[in-house]
Amino acid sequence: MRRRPRSHRPKFLPPPGQARREGHRRYNRTRRDPDAQAIYDSARWKRVRALKIDADPLCEVCEREGRTTLAAQVHHVVKVRDEPGRAYDMANLMSVCRSCHARIEDRDGSGG
């Protein structure tokens, strides 16, 4: 049996151009209102969310910036808290990766 030469390359190489300012993430999910939380917990939301990820499996923010990243979460453009009626509206949803989502939520300061 042949022994594989040990590689000194790190297993994880960040893709070039990937933003390096991930250090200051403060993803604050403490101030969720109960109505919004009920929507997030609902079977309907889970279904819509899965549909959205299925339709747009890539992070839409990364895509816009020329990166290809798998979406991990679904973001509400208009907050559930602001317009609960749009919680399941596909046109109001965005597929996002974790870091883009954290960045978006950090910027506008609310969950969703």
Cβ atoms of 86 and 64 within 8 Å: the answer is no
Interface with Zn ion in residues 58-97 (CB under 5 A):
59, 61-62, 69, 75, 97
Are 94 and 57 in contact, with CB atoms under 8 Å apart?
Answer: no
Size of site (CB under 5 A) for Zn ion: 8
Minimum distance, C-beta of residue 83 to Zn ion, in the bound complex (Å) = 14
Binding of residue 100 to Zn ion (CB under 5 A): yes
Range list of H helices, 25-108:
34-41, 43-55, 60-64, 98-108
> Where along the sequence are the contacts to Zn ion (CB under 5 A)?
59, 61-62, 69, 75, 97, 100, 112
